[in-house]
Chain A
């Protein structure tokens, strides 16, 4: 399990999560949700977005407040299953779209080993591998043991985390 700023059970969910729901706020103040694979290094949650699907990046640059939900028993194959929502402040790292995101490959590979074979074939779909990094500093966590959201979640305030 990745040690770090998040409560251990939440870090355990992130470590196995193949999909999460990233929610951003669009220009009209409306929430918009995107399924994405989350990566966690103990301090920040990272996601990557291909330039092909970059509307979310524009939204984040205009309003950095986001949430990451872990909700799907198939996409989050944790034992025991639980659910969590992590709220945080996001930053888009876009200074090297071609190779900058590759620094996340070790985290990505640990969760999805097949990524290496995709990267080797990047010439086949080159714009999919021009990617920005979404770096999220968690500020608050809601955690529902056993995934039961009919009861109040445990809430963890992480003020100052990741700074």
Chain B
């Protein structure tokens, strides 16, 4: 509940149908009675009645007046949830009770969405757990799912699939080596997701963020007390150990040039949020993400199959690189207040809303220009033009970030579509290469 000034609280109360008067009776039990009411906001006064006199408190008793509203939505739950509690001494005159409000609090989900309300209440939960000597619990699978942010593995699967597809087009695909590249890529991605949480927790960025969404604000497993920091450190180290181990094996088996690519990838993934570089704090999160989840992964996957570098594979990775950078870019919009509070100066923090929106549109246009130009320049096969069918998705995301820039939860559909834009565009590029390889 948010504290409200008495005049504001009474003004808010005006829109409700009835009020509940609650007070502590002589027997120590709370008593409640509902009634019609009128408001005088300028005097912060509410008058209730007529009510059976025996159901009213004695004059001078402190009462809690409550107005509340919900709208049941069959199959969904409720919406339009709002309520106000107003306290003050009762003045009782026969069947009429009036209260000049001295203190008030309330919640209106139109002002503070439920998820933000819940997030702001996390410290209350921790106090309660401490009182009763308990810890929150989630199954191991869901804890792993949350802590690693598993669904975001699409960001790795797409560029590695693309590298394999280009290799197939060049008649150099090797399933076994490609699978090992996929394992290394997934391991480093899961490791960096956990590292990102560890460093954002240490900097206070995640704690300062009261509007996390399923797509932004980190996994929050530490903020919720679901996982201890030490466990995450071990999990992070294990992921990186797998990635480095497989990477070194691949380099030894397929060519030591690969090691340079792997080292750059690992260093960038850690430098993203880790001090001293903390690249995302310097507004470099997007280019780092584009490099790591674009050319580095695509070229790496291509190399382990073909044992050589490829200019067309590099070019093919560029649309995917831009789109994954745009996923990060849009997902940072709801995080910007928390990020700014701890000095995490992402592009979204640095730029005004309109510039953020225009830059999104420009980057999306560049993505599709690259896709369209590839066959014209004889770099990519004509079949890859099928990826242009996702243009409307980009347009939808742009409209979403323009319409809901300041509303984190209303922005969620645009964030989801943006993730889909990367996934489907990438998979269609892969499909284009595969078809071209087969025909």
* Beta-carbon contact of A23 and B32 below 8 Å: yes
Establish whether residues A19 and B52, one from each chain, have CB atoms under 8 Å apart when the complex forms: no
Max chain A C-beta neighbours (<10 A), residue from B22, B32, B55: B32
- How many chain A residues sit at the interface, stated as a range, is 35 or more
Residues in chain B near residue A2, CB distance under 8 A: none
Segment of B123-131, B241-249, B296-304, B417-425 engaged in the interface with chain A: B123-131
Q: Is the CB of B136 within 8 A of A151?
A: no
Interface membership of chain A positions 1-29, coded 1 if the CB is closer than 8 angstroms to chain B and 0 otherwise: 00000000000000000110101110001
Chain A residues 26-62 with CB under 8 Å of chain B are 29-33, 35, 50-55, 57-58
Tell me the chain B residues, 333-384 only, with Cβ under 8 Å from chain A. none
Among the stretches B60-68, B172-180, B252-260, the one at the interface with A is B60-68
Contact B118 A31 (CB under 8 A): no
Q: For B224, what are the chain A residues with a Cβ–Cβ distance below 8 Å?
A: 126-127
A51 touches B124 (CB 8 A): yes
**Residue of A50, A63, A88, A127 most packed against chain B (CB within 10 A):** A127
Chain B binding surface, main DSSP class: mixed
Q: In the bound complex, do residue A85 and residue B125 qualify as a contact, i.e. CB atoms below 8 Å apart?
A: no
Q: A18-B78, A125-B118 are in contact. Are A85 and B32 (CB under 8 A)?
A: yes
Q: Is B77 an interface residue (CB 8 A)?
A: yes
Write out, one digit per residue, whether chain B residues 123-159 have a CB within 8 A of any chain A CB (1) or not (0).
Answer: 0110111011010111000100110000000000000
Q: Which of A104-163 contact B (CB under 8 A)?
A: 112-114, 118, 122-128, 130, 139-140, 142, 147, 149-153
B34 to A23, Cβ gap below 8 A?
Answer: no
- B3-32 vs A, CB cutoff 8 Å, 1 = contact: the mask equals 000000000000001101011100011111
Question: Which chain A residues lie closer than 8 Å to B20 at the CB level?
Answer: 21, 33, 69, 71
Q: Which of A51, A57, A77, A97 has the most CB of B within 10 A?
A: A51
A-B CB contacts (within 8 Å), total count: 171
Asked if B142 and A55 sit within 8 Å, CB to CB, the answer is no
Decide if B125 touches A29 in the complex (CB within 8 Å).
Answer: no
Interface string of A70-85 (1 = CB under 8 A from B): 0111110100000101
Q: A52-B122, A127-B224 are in contact. Are A98 and B32 (CB under 8 A)?
A: no
- Tell yes or no: A102 within 8 A of B by CB: no
Please report the C-alpha to C-alpha distance between residue A27 and residue B128 in the assembled complex, in whole angstroms.
Answer: 16
Q: How far is the CB of A128 from chain B (nearest CB, A)?
A: 6
The 6 closest A-B pairs by CB, nearest first: A71-B34, A69-B32, A23-B30, A52-B121, A54-B128, A123-B142
B residues with CB within 8 A of A: 17-18, 20, 22-24, 28-35, 49-52, 54-55, 62-64, 66, 68-72, 75-78, 83, 85, 87, 95, 115, 118, 121-122, 124-125, 127-129, 131-132, 134, 136-138, 142, 145-146, 214, 224, 226
* 17 new A-B contacts at CB < 8 Å, known A33-B32, A126-B136: A23-B30, A24-B30, A51-B128, A52-B118, A63-B28, A65-B28, A69-B32, A72-B34, A74-B69, A74-B70, A97-B132, A122-B138, A123-B138, A124-B214, A130-B129, A142-B55, A149-B52
